[in-house]
Amino acid sequence: AQKVTQAQTEISVVEKEDVTLDCVYETRDTTYYLFWYKQPPSGELVFLIRRNSFDEQNEISGRYSWNFQKSTSSFNFTITASQVVDSAVYFCALSDWRDDKIIFGKGTRLHILP
Amino acid sequence: DAGVTQSPTHLIKTRGQQVTLRCSPKSGHDTVSWYQQALGQGPQFIFQYYEEEERQRGNFPDRFSGHQFPNYSSELNVNALWLGDSALYLCASSHGTGNGNTIYFGEGSWLTVV
């Protein structure tokens, strides 16, 4: 069975600090896809990144970076120099190659304090 | 380019009533999925529609049903509402199915059952 675990329920950091959100996944498939979504208070899930299981190269997009390690089944997300606008709930998610059904973690609520 | 749009935004229903939620996919997308997000939880997959047929279904009772129209828009119907059906209902769209398509979400419909 597929499963995504986000052990950090809630994190608070002061603005400009770096913060890492942890994600551990379980799957028996060799081909799968990992995602991160951001959910502001409005409710909409905002797509941040998609990574397939064959691409372990880390990715950086502005202040955001992702560290994918198959050996530890982890797909961690780091925000550098955090800003108040980064405050939201962040979800890590997993899908397989057969369909687009996404399995979400329970999310990490991130508070960036001014 | 319009994203995924959902209606209504908020609604309140009484236990035992029926509700219909509507979704228009992102332009160019032909696949619609529905998710239920209870407070403090990650979204849970309800079902997916492609080519006007239900292609996949999550662990939800038959009280939850849906429909996809020729223009790819979709409806989610919930009969005999329970208090536990109170949640944010998210619609997601993509082009085709499988292969880790990027899924785009709407802002959701907040349903409160009293």
- Phi-psi region at A45: left, alpha or beta (left = phi > 0; alpha = psi -120 to 50): beta
Tell me the per-residue pLDDT of B76-97, one tens digit each, with 9 for 90 and over. 999 999 999 999 999 999 987 7
Is the Cβ–Cβ distance between A96 and A2 less than 8 Å? yes
Mean of the per-residue pLDDT values of chain B: 94
How much is the pLDDT for A19?
Answer: 98
- Using a CB-CB distance cutoff of 8 angstroms, which residues of chain B are in contact with residue A42? 107
Q: Are A30 and A5 in contact (CB under 8 A)?
A: no
User: B41 CA to chain A: closest CA distance, Å?
Assistant: 5
- On whether any CB of chain A is under 8 Å from the CB of B45, the answer is yes
Q: Does B60 touch chain A (CB under 8 A)?
A: no
Distance CA A83, CA A81 (A): 7
Asked if B23 contacts B4 with a C-beta cutoff of 8 angstroms, the reply is: yes
What digits encode the pLDDT tens for the residues B10-31? 999 999 999 999 999 999 999 9
Question: What one-character DSSP code corresponds to residue A84?
Answer: G
Inter-chain contacts counted by CB atoms under 8 A, chains A and B: 69
Is the pLDDT at B2 greater than 80? The verdict is no
pLDDT category of residue B1 using cuts at 50, 70 and 90: low
Q: What is the 3 state secondary structure string of chain B?
A: CCCCEEECCEEEECCCCCEEEEEECCCCCCEEEEEEECCCCCCEEEEEEECCEEEEECCCCCCEEEEECCCCCEEEEECCCCHHHCEEEEEEEECCCCCCCCCEECCCEEEEEC
Which are the contacts of B63, defined by CB distance < 8 A and separation ≥ 6?
A: B78, B79, B80
Residue A14, min C-alpha distance to chain B (Å): 23
Per the prediction, chain A carries an average pLDDT of 93
Residue of higher predicted confidence among A106 and B96: A106
DSSP state of A73: T
On the question of pLDDT at B47 being above 70, the answer is yes
Mean pLDDT for A39-44 is 89
